[in-house]
């Protein structure tokens, strides 16, 4: 699975590892800095879990684990990543667990809305 955001790419391998590359102005590569990468780079902080899906949305990135956990990173302006509005932290440089009330089964993007399916009421 390869996803294209506004200026970056995400890929999840058959073994569940996530790679990112491209512009990184808002930390959307998830590699703990804002330096652009021009070749696929492993998102090391996700290597302890098996990812099954990724989504690149504008300057934001999301990954879904086999167990239904969702991680988010990148532009968090107005709390848009779903990880809470963090004072002085409009950029999240590494994946952060999204606090869900139940496991997600897939990620879906509709214009301006990201939905983690499998939640109550979704």
What's the CA angle centered on 3, arms 27 and 115, to 5 degrees? 85
User: Whole-model pTM?
Assistant: 0.87
Taking only the tens place, the pLDDT of each residue in 19-77 is 999 999 999 999 999 999 999 999 999 999 999 999 999 999 999 999 999 999 999 98
Give percent of the chain above pLDDT 90.
66
The β-bridge relationship of strands 8-12 and 2-4 is antiparallel
Q: Which residues pair with 51 in a beta bridge?
A: 65
Please give the C-alpha separations between residue 66 and each of 27, 37, 73, 105, in angstroms, as whole numbers.
Answer: 24, 27, 18, 8
What would the mean pLDDT of 81-87 be, rounded to a whole number?
77
């Amino acid at each position: 699975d390869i996803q294209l955001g506004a200026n970056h790419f995400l890929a999840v391998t058959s073994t569940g590892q996530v790679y990112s590359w491209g512009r990184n102005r808002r930390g959307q590569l998830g590699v703990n800095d804002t330096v652009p990468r021009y070749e696929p780079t492993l998102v090391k902080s996700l290597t302890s879990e098996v990812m099954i899906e990724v989504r690149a949305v504008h300057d934001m990135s999301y990954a879904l684990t086999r167990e239904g956990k969702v991680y988010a990173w990148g532009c968090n302006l107005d709390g848009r990543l779903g990880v809470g509005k963090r004072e002085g932290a409009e950029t999240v440089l590494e994946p952060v667990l999204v606090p869900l009330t139940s496991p997600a089964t897939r990620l879906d993007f509709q214009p301006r809305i990201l939905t983690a399916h499998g939640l109550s009421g979704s």
